[in-house]
């Protein structure tokens, strides 16, 4: 089936009407575009689990701070169409800001608590913008399932909480982070890196894996596990925003971790290297190969 491009909410609903009338299941992959193989994995997962997959490509202005350069975010619609089609999408929804936020739009969604912790503390309003646009997309598409990468761990937590609180009848599916051979998590912002920068940025995943290995080796003190990661990060000129061990509610873990705490703990990183800001995360307990 060739990929169909639609650009307005009305066109999207019309395009989905046939699928709904035939009882087809629909999967949604929300993106901001500049698709890479990490997005491709989300789309392939959706295509395998649903009759029809919708990919949204929308650089959402409400999740950018005034100091962020919205205009500099990478865009390439032709590439996006190619990646989406090859991965099995049937519809690509590419609206402009006016279509999603028409004049008079005044509603924002806020997931209290989760939205203001960790990443939200340094990016006020960011997750409100995420929650708002995701809820709009879920209402427009009405999918059985929506797919999000685990790389944006806090975003995934916020969306899951919102869907639960508002009784949205969509299953939120988290998909493991896709990484380059070096261990660097795939991201649209990696396009800003030189080859040397990509090589150096591998230190991020190395730090997280060193923390996993230290726990596996018997270290259960949160501060000592964190220091293991900091020692690895010190090998490169990383400007650290945070390196934390978090529980399922995104609260910092301290002291000696019980097996139950460790099983749910997440290692989260944010910082800059070579002028690019990175986020990454891994479970403290490494999954069995």
Q: Which residues, other chains included, contact 20 with Cβ-Cβ below 8 Å and sequence gap of 6+?
A: 26, 142
254 is in an annotated binding site: no
Closest Cα to residue 59, out of 87, 28, 80?
80
From the list 39, 94, 161, 200, the catalytic residue is 39
**What is the token pair recorded at 147?**
């797919």
182 is in an annotated binding site: no
| DSSP state letters, 224-241 | HHHHHHHHHHTTTT-EEE
Does residue 236 have a known ligand-binding role?
no
Q: At what angle do helices 222-233 and 203-216 cross, to 10 degrees?
A: 150
151 is in an annotated binding site: yes
186 is in an annotated binding site: yes
Number of neighbouring beta carbons within 10 Å of residue 92? 26
150 is in an annotated binding site: yes
Q: Is residue 126 marked as binding?
A: no
136 labeled binding residue: no
State the Cα–Cα distance between residues 147 and 19, nearest whole angstrom: 19
CA distance 269 to 146: 25
Active site residue 39: yes
Residue 38 is labelled as binding a ligand: yes
Q: 35 a known binding residue? A: yes
CA distance 177 to 38: 7
Instruction: Establish whether 18 is an annotated binding residue.
Output: no
Return binding residues. Answer: 32-39, 63, 149-152, 155, 178, 186-189
Return binding residues for (R)-pantoate. Answer: 63, 155
Any idea which residues carry the catalytic annotation?
Answer: 39
Return binding residues for ATP. Answer: 32-39, 149-152, 178, 186-189
Return binding residues for beta-alanine. Answer: 63
């Amino acid at each position: 089936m060739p990929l169909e491009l639609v650009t307005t909410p009305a066109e999207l609903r019309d395009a989905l009407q046939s699928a709904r009338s035939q009882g087809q299941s629909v999967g949604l992959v929300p993106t901001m575009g500049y698709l890479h193989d990490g997005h491709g994995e989300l789309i392939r997962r959706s295509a395998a689990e649903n009759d029809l997959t919708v990919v949204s490509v929308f650089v959402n202005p409400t999740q950018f701070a005034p100091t962020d350069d919205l205009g500099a975010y990478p865009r390439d619609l032709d590439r996006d169409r190619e990646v989406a089609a090859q991965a099995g999408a049937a519809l690509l929804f590419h609206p402009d800001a006016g279509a999603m936020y028409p004049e008079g739009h005044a509603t924002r969604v806020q997931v209290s608590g989760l939205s203001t912790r960790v990443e939200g503390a340094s990016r006020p309003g960011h997750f409100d913008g995420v929650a708002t646009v995701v809820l709009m997309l879920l209402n427009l598409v009405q999918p059985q399932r929506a797919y999000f990468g685990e790389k944006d761990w806090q975003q995934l937590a916020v969306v899951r909480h919102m869907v639960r609180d508002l009784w949205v009848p969509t299953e939120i599916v988290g998909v493991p982070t896709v990484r380059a051979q070096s261990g660097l998590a795939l991201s649209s912002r990696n396009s800003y890196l030189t080859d040397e920068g990509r090589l150096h940025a591998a230190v991020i995943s190395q730090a997280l894996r060193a923390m996993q290995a230290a726990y596996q080796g018997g270290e259960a003190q949160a501060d000592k596990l964190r220091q293991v990661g900091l020692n690895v990060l010190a090998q490169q000129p990383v400007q650290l925003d945070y390196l934390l061990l978090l529980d399922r509610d995104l609260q910092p873990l301290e002291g000696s971790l019980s097996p139950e705490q460790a099983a749910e703990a997440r290692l989260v990183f944010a910082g800059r290297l070579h002028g690019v800001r990175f986020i990454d995360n891994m479970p403290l307990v490494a999954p069995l190969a």
